[in-house]
Amino acid sequence: MSDSALPGAHSHSSIAFGYIDHRCVEASIFLRVIPRHLYVHVPFCARRCAYCDFAIAVRKVVPVDEYLRALDTELAMRWNLGRDRWVLDTLYFGGGTPSRLGEAGVSRMLDLVRERATLAEGAEVTLEANPEDVSLDAARSWRRAGVTRVSLGVQSFDDAALDWMHRVHDADRAERAVEELREAGFDNFSIDLIFALPESVGRSWDRDVERALRLEPPHVSLYGLTLEEKTPLGRQRRRGEIIEAPEEHYERDFLRAHSAMTSAGLEHYEVSNFGRDGHRSRHNSSYWTQAPYAAIGPGSHEFIDGVRRWNEPAYSAWVAKLAAGDDPVAGSERLTPDNTVAETVYLGLRTVDGLETSAGEARHIAPWVDAGWADLSGGDAQVLRLTPLGWLRLDSIAAALTEVRSR
């Protein structure tokens, strides 16, 4: 898993660091609203990481043929529009671990999408990969297949921390993976790091950030660890074997990373994302701007024309439904006006682009500006932008402003 699919918030403010799910579509709107962004969920992992509660399928041997047949069936069922009608600006293969499909599997997966859609000139095509799956040959194969960006699930450069998280790779393998991506011609890739580990792990966050920056990555995604109830770490917490990092630890790690990353020339352009000039994640940015996006694969989520739609999360059930000719949808919902207001506020405040405000909201915003949590700029239509301190309080600020707008 990488920069679109990792643990989110700490109890400090329930910030959804990094991941806004991919969701949408009703048959009645297919021909009216055609999204230019597609997410493809590849659920396979070598093992379940200690923090993970996502829709994955642990397989020693990945059933590549079975998965691709089901994926092709869902594409034909849901998006049989013709390549001249469906043009994609971004395509994101997330997971799980898409790189576990192997070189040929990744190439075939891209071919399936190209049979249904045309990739626009300069389209961003992202593949999530774990360091242990990267080799020079694999990276060159991904480039030939059409991948333009790799999101690398490093998580830490501390071997003890990686072992604690049940990661397969070690720190040296992560560094070699970055070198191999560069040698293969990738100048657009992202490194994922997880912060706010329990203090008992003994990981130095400052050393992790320093080691990451020595690699001069064009993009970095940071995720605050959450001990979800149904994960191995959640069960350890219930048994009293580990204690979640305190709020002060979480805030310290976030602010130190902000300082180091921005000093190294990366823009902190979204609450959990840093990028050099021209290297913002275009696909994830489509979520934050409420652009319509489609999604296929088990557990995938879409959003089109105010409708959220999500698939059956279990891989075997998803395959079985498609084999029987049934839609693998698990549910859908249309946003209410109040939902829409809440999402507009929350998503707008996630990024440095900010949220346009009205004169009537000024007195509610002023205390946040005075506290150093936000900035206001512009003329008659002022734009509210949260500072790093404000992002640590994103949920409460967004909820307060939503209440004002809903009156």
Q: What is the pLDDT of residues 65-81, one digit of tens each?
A: 999 999 999 999 999 88
- Residue where one domain finishes, among candidates 262, 288, 314: 288
CA distance 5 to 17: 10
Q: Could you tell me if residue 352 is inside a domain?
A: yes
In the sheet where 118-129 sits, what is the strand order?
A: 267-270, 273-275, 219-224, 189-195, 149-155, 118-129, 87-95, 37-42, 294-296
Question: Would the pTM count as exceeding 0.85?
Answer: yes
User: Do 350 and 243 lie in a common domain?
Assistant: no
Q: Could you tell me if residue 108 is inside a domain?
A: yes
Give pLDDT, residue 263. 98
- At 380, the pLDDT band (50, 70, 90 cuts) reads low
Please state whether 164 falls in left (phi above 0), alpha (psi between -120 and 50) or beta: alpha
Q: Which helix (H) or strand (E) holds 195?
A: strand 189-195
Residue partners of 248: CB distance under 8 A and separation at least 6? none
User: Do 273 and 350 lie in a common domain?
Assistant: no
Q: Could you tell me if residue 400 is inside a domain?
A: yes
Are the beta carbons of 268 and 386 closer than 8 angstroms?
no
* Domain CATH for 391: 1.10.10
User: Domain containing 216: what range?
Assistant: 27-288
DSSP 149: E
Q: Is the dihedral of CA 182, 155, 223, 252 positive or negative?
A: negative
Q: In angstroms, what CA-CA distances link 343 with 182, 336, 349, 401?
A: 37, 11, 10, 11
User: Do 341 and 283 lie in a common domain?
Assistant: no
351 versus 378: the higher-pLDDT residue is: 351
CA distance 127 to 107: 11
pLDDT at 6 over 90: no
Q: Could you tell me if residue 166 is inside a domain?
A: yes
* Domain CATH for 56: 3.80.30.20
User: Do 280 and 354 lie in a common domain?
Assistant: no
User: Do 243 and 390 lie in a common domain?
Assistant: no
User: Do 251 and 103 lie in a common domain?
Assistant: yes
User: Do 51 and 171 lie in a common domain?
Assistant: yes
User: Do 85 and 202 lie in a common domain?
Assistant: yes
β-partners of residue 293 are 303
The three-point CA angle 75-80-84 to 5° equals 115
β-partners of residue 232 are none
Strand 294-296 and strand 37-42: the pairing is parallel
Q: Could you tell me if residue 16 is inside a domain?
A: no
- At 32, the pLDDT band (50, 70, 90 cuts) reads low
User: Do 231 and 373 lie in a common domain?
Assistant: no
Whose structure tokens read 């600020």?
397
Q: Could you tell me if residue 331 is inside a domain?
A: no
Query: What confidence tens digit (pLDDT) does each residue in 207-220 have?
Result: 999 999 999 999 99
**In whole numbers, what is the pLDDT of the chain averaged over residues?**
90
Query: What confidence tens digit (pLDDT) does each residue in 299-328 have?
Result: 999 999 999 999 999 999 999 999 999 999
The number of folded domains in the chain is 2
pLDDT at 61 over 80: yes
Angle between helical axes of 136-145 and 102-116 (0-180°, round to 10): 10
